[in-house]
Amino acid sequence: MNNTASKASQTSNSILTSGYSYVIASTLAAALSTVVGKWNLNAISPLLMNSLIFSIAASILSVTLISTKGFRAVFSLSRKGWFWLLMFSASSWLAIWAFWAGVQRMDPSLAAFLNRLEVPVAILLGIIILKEHFTKTETLGAILSLSGIVVMRLTLRFEYSSGFWLVLTGALFFGITEFISKIAVRHVQPSVLTYIRNMFIATGYWIAFFSIDGSFEGLGDVWTGVVALGILGPIFSRMMYLKALQQLALSKVAVISQSQPVLVLLIAFLALGQLPAFREIMGGLLLVIGSLLMISSQSIKGWKHRKRV
């Protein structure tokens, strides 16, 4: 009996350990992606970079998914599945474009901090649409998050102002995307959802690229960074994140993911020599702390619900 309990405990600990390993790997890959993306954007436009990285991701996933699942299994979705997949793709397209267009104009560390606004936005949408109660902790978290944005905005250097608003817009759409994805995964498998979304996003970016810009100038200088970003971001970071969600509670994954701006700060300083002003970092930390409070409140509400059930 003791041996059985011991084995079960060891299995549980092993799952937790691998789950934490996945989310740490995902967070690190996302941080690296931000810095690599900033380096790419010194030479090429956000539209060209996004067109390429999502084409790379879609091509790789096409080979792996269709060869293992089969064409019919991948694309046989319900009407609701297609609807939410299209909604997910559209909001992702807008969020990703706005984020990278902003990163091109500002310090990547500051952009990573500001992008954490997606957490309060996603939680607020759940509260508003799903009629959940707004707790005192969530109220405090929202206040701290908004205070962080105000601090960053008030201390923001003039040349960064357009980047600030672009990243802020991207964060709002990322929050909407996160909310939509929670509904989409009820109708579409995560791996299929990621694959088809990448195809739709790549197609949309190529249409926009050839309609607006169409220039490949500068690509020869950063093609290695583009390939690296295509593997690091849409494939590796996303897959590690989904694997982490399979083994850990969403709240735990979300909390660890909040360390991403700090990692970006360190990597950007070491690789690019870029560092935001001290008060800008303080504003970013307020935003992260506010997000953590809102995540912890969501976790507590989920625990109380399970206890009642």
Would the pLDDT of 257 be above 90? no
Residue percentage of the chain with pLDDT more than 70: 76
Would the pLDDT of 298 be above 60? no
Would the pLDDT of 289 be above 90? no
Residue 301's pLDDT is what? 53
Would the pLDDT of 302 be above 60? no
Residue 51: other Cβ atoms inside 10 A: 24
Instruction: Give the best-scoring range by mean pLDDT among 35-44, 111-120, 182-191.
Output: 35-44
Would the pLDDT of 64 be above 50? yes
Identify the residue with better confidence: 3 or 129. Answer: 129
Number of structural domains, the chain?
Answer: 1
- Residue 1 included in any domain: no
- pLDDT confidence band for 159 (50 / 70 / 90): very low
Could you give the CA distance from residue 209 to residue 27 in angstroms, rounded to a whole number? 29
Would the pLDDT of 2 be above 90? no
- Residue 11 included in any domain: no
Could you give the CA distance from residue 67 to residue 28 in angstroms, rounded to a whole number? 29
- Residue 288 included in any domain: yes
Identify the residue with better confidence: 228 or 125. Answer: 228
Would the pLDDT of 153 be above 80? no
- Residue 5 included in any domain: no
- Residue 4 included in any domain: no
Residue 247's pLDDT is what? 73
Would the pLDDT of 27 be above 80? yes
Average pLDDT rounded to a whole number, residues 132-138: 65
Residue 67, domain extent: 20-308
How confident is the model over 259-282, as pLDDT tens digits?
777 778 788 888 777 766 777 677
- Residue 3 included in any domain: no
Question: Please, what is the average pLDDT of the chain?
Answer: 79
Could you give the CA distance from residue 304 to residue 309 in angstroms, rounded to a whole number? 9
Positive/negative CA dihedral, 63, 35, 253, 99 = negative
- Residue 13 included in any domain: no
Residue percentage of the chain with pLDDT more than 90: 27
What separation in angstroms does the CA of 303 have from each of 191, 207, 247?
Answer: 28, 46, 17
What would the 3-class secondary structure string for the chain be?
CHHHHHHHHHHHHHHHHHHHHHHHHHHHHHHHHHHHHHHHCCCCCHHHHHHHHHHHHHHHHHHHHHHHHCHHHHHCCCHHHHHHHHHHHHHHHHHHHHHHHHHCCCCHHHHHHHHHHHHHHHHHHHHHHCCCCCCHHHHHHHHHHHHHHHHHHHCCCHHHHHHHHHHHHHHHHHHHHHHHHHHHCCCCCHHHHHHHHHHHHHHHHHHHHHHHCCCCCCHHHHHHHHHHHHHHHHHHHHHHHHHHHHHCCHHHHHHHHCCHHHHHHHHHHHHHCCCCCHHHHHHHHHHHHHHHHHHHHHHHHHHHHHHHC
How confident is the model over 29-54, as pLDDT tens digits?
988 999 999 999 999 999 999 999 99
Would the pLDDT of 93 be above 70? yes
